[in-house]
Amino acid sequence: MLGALAAPAPDPIIALMQRLAADPRDGRIDLGVGVYRDAAGRTPVMGAVAAAEARILAAQQTKGYLGLAGDPGFLAAMVDLLLGASSDRVAAVATPGGSGALRQVLALVAQANPDAQVWIGVPSWPNHAAIAEGLGLAVRPHAYLDAGGGVDTAAMLADLEGARAGDVVVLHASCHNPSGADLTGDDWAAVADLCARRGLVPLVDVAYQGFGAGLEEDVAGLRHLAGGLPEVLVAASGSKSFGLYRERVGLALALCAGPAEAGRVGAALAALNRRNFAFPPDHGARVVTTILRDPVLCADWRAELAGIRRRVQANRSALAQALRVATQGAGFDALERQRGMFSLLDLAPDRIEALRERHAIYLVPDGRINIAGLTPATIPTVATAIATVLR
């Protein structure tokens, strides 16, 4: 029976990781996989995380099951972090990572409205479409990027005029993956108006809170939607903001029209957890709750996150400047303006291959680079290599 199964198309990012691991050259530069790296190339355990883990280890008496929705303290702390206040319109469950959260909110959509179309910008994180399609939902593309590395809001809104009431629009809260091009405040307001007018439900993917303009700023768009629309879905990840990648921290949230709906939707989400994996992982969630509920740990975490944000931004500016010098060209302002760990370089596939083969510089085939993978020492090397392959 299993012999009939075709192998799935290899994930380009996972394939790249394997290729890099097999590359014997010294000085390989990994701008591929989307994890934060410090100036030494490490993905560190954040100080507040280590402190919280020590406390949990000292105090924890049991690892018995919790509820299907996860620890209520975690849900409340995450709702505060995301929405800025609690609400009786919120239904939420803990999930394995942001990917698990996307899966669960989209499973909720598939249950509530199997005919819903899921509108996803081009480009987007490939797993958005993969998860929606895996649940049998129809995926529809909408325009997103303009030629200058910003968002083509007019084209995006024009495409979304083709959506039907009950359709879902996937939006990146901040630090758009893969482009770094984020919606402005005016753009969020325009999207909110369109969703209200046409009865569309936004699904906001919050995977990089704190990596863009700031912890509050990065969810300002989400909060604008939450303030004005009857229904908003959220898939949040603790992977980047808390550096808890492998612990799988996530939250699936549905803002509902009222408390009665929220109660039913919460039960539906818990039942979906039950069916898919039963109890969500707790360790990482407990770390997050410990940090968010302790003023000292929370201040320490915020400060470290601000340092991460500053480092990524400094790398952006330095790379843009080094590229201007190396290519003797302009046109790198967008790179500097964009936010978060990713930007798309306008490089043809053979140039990307040349960077890998001749210069041991790895980036994803679509031209996405992880800005956090750069260091002051590698930025000139990378800029020169890019200028060379462009010649």
Residues noted as catalytic: 125, 205, 207, 240
Regarding 98 and contact with ligand PMP (CB under 6 A), the answer is yes
Among 97, 210, 266, 284, binds ligand PMP (CB under 6 A): 97
CB 171 within 8 A of CB 221: yes
Q: How far is the CB of 82 from ligand PMP (least distance, A)?
A: 14
Contact region with ligand PMP (CB under 6 A), list: 96-104, 262-270, 277-285, 287-295 = 96-104
Regarding 74 and contact with ligand PMP (CB under 6 A), the answer is no
Q: How far is the CB of 98 from ligand PMP (least distance, A)?
A: 3
Q: How far is the CB of 162 from ligand PMP (least distance, A)?
A: 24
Regarding 221 and contact with ligand PMP (CB under 6 A), the answer is no
Among 30, 205, 231, 304, binds ligand PMP (CB under 6 A): 205
Of 337, 347, 387, the C-alpha closest to 368 is 347
Contact region with ligand PMP (CB under 6 A), list: 92-100, 183-191, 321-329, 343-351 = 92-100
Of 219, 273, 256, 232, the C-alpha closest to 94 is 273
CB 201 within 8 A of CB 232: yes
Query: For the window 170-199, what string marks contact with ligand PMP as x by the rule CB under 6 A?
Result: --x----x----------------------
Which of 104, 290 has the CB closer to ligand PMP? 104
What's 69's DSSP letter? Answer: T
User: How far is residue 54's CA from residue 193's CA, in Å, rounded to a whole number?
Assistant: 47
Burial of 107 (0-12, 13-18, 19+ CB in 10 A): buried
User: How far is residue 122's CA from residue 124's CA, in Å, rounded to a whole number?
Assistant: 5
Q: Count the residues of the shown chain that bind ligand PMP, applying the rule CB under 6 A.
A: 13
Q: Torsions phi, psi of 93, nearest 5?
A: -140, 150
Position of tokens 């199997």?
114
Contact region with ligand PMP (CB under 6 A), list: 54-62, 93-101, 264-272, 370-378 = 93-101
Query: For the window 25-54, what string marks contact with ligand PMP as x by the rule CB under 6 A?
Result: ---------x--------------------
**Amino acid making up residue 7:** A
Q: How far is the CB of 196 from ligand PMP (least distance, A)?
A: 25
For 112, 310, 376, the CA distances from 381, given in Å and listed in that order, are 52, 21, 10
Regarding 281 and contact with ligand PMP (CB under 6 A), the answer is no
Say which residues have a Cβ less than 8 Å from residue 343's Cβ, sequence separation at least 6.
149, 178, 179, 180, 316, 334, 335, 368, 369, 371
Query: For the window 233-272, what string marks contact with ligand PMP as x by the rule CB under 6 A?
Result: ----x-x-----x----x----------------------
Q: How far is the CB of 177 from ligand PMP (least distance, A)?
A: 4
Question: How, if at all, do strands 361-362 and 29-30 pair?
Answer: parallel
> What are the structure tokens assigned to 90, written together?
């919120």
Regarding 99 and contact with ligand PMP (CB under 6 A), the answer is yes
Residues numbered 303 to 332 that lie near ligand PMP (CB under 6 A) are none
User: How far is residue 217's CA from residue 210's CA, in Å, rounded to a whole number?
Assistant: 8
Which of 316, 359 has the CB closer to ligand PMP? 316
- 360 — alpha (psi -120 to 50), left (phi > 0) or beta? left
Contacting positions for ligand PMP (CB under 6 A):
34, 97-99, 125, 172, 177, 205, 207, 237, 239, 245, 250
